[in-house]
Amino acid sequence: MTEASAPIEAQQEDTLTPPSVFDVAVIGSGPAGSQSAVSAAHQTRSVLVIEAGAVSQRKGRAFWSKSVEFQDAPVFPGITGPRLANALTAWMSAQVGRMVTIGGKSRHVGIWRRGGMVLRVTRVKPAEGVHAPAGHLFAIEASTRPLKAGTKLTTERFLARSLVVASGFEDIWPDIDITEGADRLYQTHRILFRYAGNRKGWHVCIRCDGHLHLDEHIAVVASGDFAWSIARGAQDFTGHITILTNGADPDFSDARRATLAERNIEVITEPITAHIGKGTDLLGLKLSSGREVFADGFFVDYGLKANREYLATDDGWDLKTDDEGLLVVDEDGAVVGADGIAVPGLFAAGDIVAGQRNLIATAFGLGQNAGLSAADLMRDW
Ligand SMILES: Cc1cc2nc3c(=O)[nH]c(=O)nc-3n(C[C@H](O)[C@H](O)[C@H](O)COP(=O)(O)OP(=O)(O)OC[C@H]3O[C@@H](n4cnc5c(N)ncnc54)[C@H](O)[C@@H]3O)c2cc1C
């Protein structure tokens, strides 16, 4: 097995018995979650990291950069998504969960990693004598075994005094060449995913991958504000841009139409029916009329779905979000409730946070802020 294709470790093997209540639980171990966990563990907190990648196809946005190296992530000179995931795992392993004695008192510190898809988070009353700085504990229910047809869901419950939500979001993909009847996202978009995250393929971030297509032909598959913002970003890299709305109304104002026409940016509104590819290279797209449009890179934006389904309104989570469902946080990384007040003990970091750049360095920064805020909460005085 090559280093790039090595799977994310399910969980660490050398664990000391974990505490019954963790100081900090982190959901997701992308750049934001890993940094939150390391920052909190570095302040002598016991940290549980729950990551869905070990039990599901949900592996984080960074993982999608299958063969394209990140060139702008801190410290790493150039690294693909799968290798970054492994590097983050190794980094967390250096803070392995253990017992330390401070001021004559022995306590758990460090990181315990578990493979699990978090399904539900609720607030519970702490048992007598259990320190709960937010006034409650977080009960985290996760599915901890890969789901196979015909098998029962295996769930486990974990308790923590504070929670960092770092589960990012899923990009929404256009329905081109979909496998009808498939019930999982990854099966439905099998053909599209063959080309995603490769140099000549689907890209989701012009800031990240625009540099791969210097002076080449960039196709933008989107409409409205999404298309406009990719096309604006794309001009830094090339003068050859085509917008394909895939049957949708382009939704551009007259002023925007005039600007696109001035820059010779063609807007094609025909539906896209199929990919034209070779191996893992995407070469072009076939349109409903039979016309074929060839390009060197394909940038798509159909919006996103925030990975926070486990914070359900029915369980009392009434949180402030932006139009896309991303969480609003204050300067400490604390999640803000619909009433505008920070929710005690609940923090968020990375792509799941509203109004931030969806990039690795930003995720690390937000992760550090949330991890330290969660750690600070444990102090008695
Ligand atoms: C193709 C591609 C190329 C990119 N290129 C660049 C680049 O060149 N430079 C750059 O700076 N950025 C790039 N990005 C963006 C970058 O990957 C993200 O901004 C970054 O990964 C965000 O980090 P995060 O930790 O917030 O979220 P993620 O990396 O998405 O991690 C979230 C984690 O949470 C886990 N998770 C989700 N739901 C659950 C759940 N219910 N229970 C448990 N775990 C869960 C996921 O499995 C995942 O591991 C790229 C993104 C893509 C898709």
pLDDT tens digits for range 120-132: 999 999 999 999 9
Atom of ligand 1 nearest to the CA of 358: 19
- Encoded tokens for 27: 């959901």
**Within-domain flag for 71:** yes
State if residue 32 touches ligand 1 by the CB under 6 angstroms criterion.
Answer: yes
Evaluate if residue 149 carries a pLDDT over 90.
Answer: no
pLDDT at position 66: 84
Same domain, 292 and 308: no
Mean pLDDT computed over every residue of the chain: 93
Task: List the CATH number of the domain containing 270.
Answer: 3.50.50.60
Residue 65 belongs to some domain of the structure = yes
Instruction: Report the distance separating Cα 345 and Cα 162, nearest Å.
Output: 5
* Distance from C-alpha of 227 to C-alpha of 29, rounded to nearest angstrom: 30
| Whether pLDDT at 103 is above 60 | yes
Ligand 1 contact via 8 beta carbon (within 6 Å):
no
The last residue of one of the domains, among 300, 329, 364, is 300
- Region 13-32: mean pLDDT is 88
Q: Are 246 and 189 found together in one domain?
A: yes
Is 85 close to ligand 1, i.e. is its CB under 6 Å away? Answer: no
**Structural domain includes residue 365:** yes
Residue to mutate, 117, 121, 208, 317, ligand 1, most ligand atoms under 8 Å from C-beta:
208
Q: Same structural domain for residues 133 and 184?
A: no
Give domain status of residue 60, yes or no.
Answer: yes
144: Cβ below 6 Å to ligand 1? no
What's the 108 CA to ligand 1 centre distance in angstroms? 29
Confidence of residue 163 (pLDDT cuts 50, 70, 90): very high
Task: State which of 300, 333, 355 marks the end of a domain.
Answer: 300
Q: How confident is the model at residue 183 (pLDDT cuts 50, 70, 90)?
A: confident
Same-domain status, 191 and 289: yes
Q: Structural domain tally of the chain?
A: 2
Identify whether residues 163 and 199 lie together within a single domain.
Answer: no
Tell whether 7 is covered by a domain: no
The secondary structure of residue 332, as a DSSP letter, is T
> Residue 15's pLDDT is what?
57
Which residues does residue 209 pair with via DSSP β-bridges, in sequence order? none
Q: Is residue 15 part of a domain?
A: no
Predicted confidence band of residue 117 (pLDDT cuts 50, 70, 90): very high
Q: Is the CB of 212 under 6 A from ligand 1?
A: no
Structure tokens at 2: 């090559």
Token reading at 126: 């702490």
- Residue 260 sits in the same domain as residue 321: no
**Domain boundary residue, one of 300, 317, 333:** 300
Both 311 and 162 in one domain: the answer is: yes
Question: Taking residues 290-308, what's their average pLDDT?
Answer: 97
Q: 225 CA to middle of ligand 1, Å? A: 23
Instruction: Identify whether residues 322 and 296 lie together within a single domain.
Output: no
**Choice from 143, 360, 366 to test ligand 1 binding pocket (greatest atom count within 8 A of CB):** 360
Q: Are residues 166 and 191 located together in one domain of the fold?
A: no
Whether residue 165 sits in one domain with residue 209: no
Q: With contact defined as beta carbons under 8 Å apart, do 305 and 325 qualify?
A: yes
How many angstroms does the Cα of residue 308 sit away from the middle of ligand 1? 14
Contact criterion met (CB below 8 Å) for 45 and 77:
no
- Over residues 178-193, the mean pLDDT reads 86
> What is the side-by-side order of every strand in the sheet holding 240-244?
202-203, 297-300, 217-221, 240-244, 266-268
Asked if 278 and 359 sit in the same domain, the reply is no
Q: Given pLDDT bands bounded at 50, 70 and 90, which one contains residue 77?
A: confident
Please report, to the nearest 10 degrees, the dihedral formed by the alpha carbons of residues 183, 189, 194, 196 taken in order: -120
**Measured from the CB, is residue 109 less than 6 Å from ligand 1?**
no
Burial 336-350 (b: 16+ CB within 10 A, else e): bbeeeebbbbbbbbb
Of 7-21, 175-189, 361-375, least confident by mean pLDDT is: 7-21
Looking at the DSSP bridge assignments, the partners of residue 124 are 137
Looking at the predicted structure, is the pLDDT value of residue 13 above 70? no
Q: d(Cα 186, Cα 307) in Å, to the nearest integer?
A: 16
Is pLDDT above 50 for 186?
Answer: yes
Express each pLDDT in 234-268 by its tens digit: 999 999 999 999 999 999 999 999 999 999 999 99
State if residue 62 touches ligand 1 by the CB under 6 angstroms criterion: yes
Instruction: Tell whether 16 is covered by a domain.
Output: no
Residue 195 included in any domain: yes
The range of the structural domain enclosing residue 357 comes to: 22-170+304-376
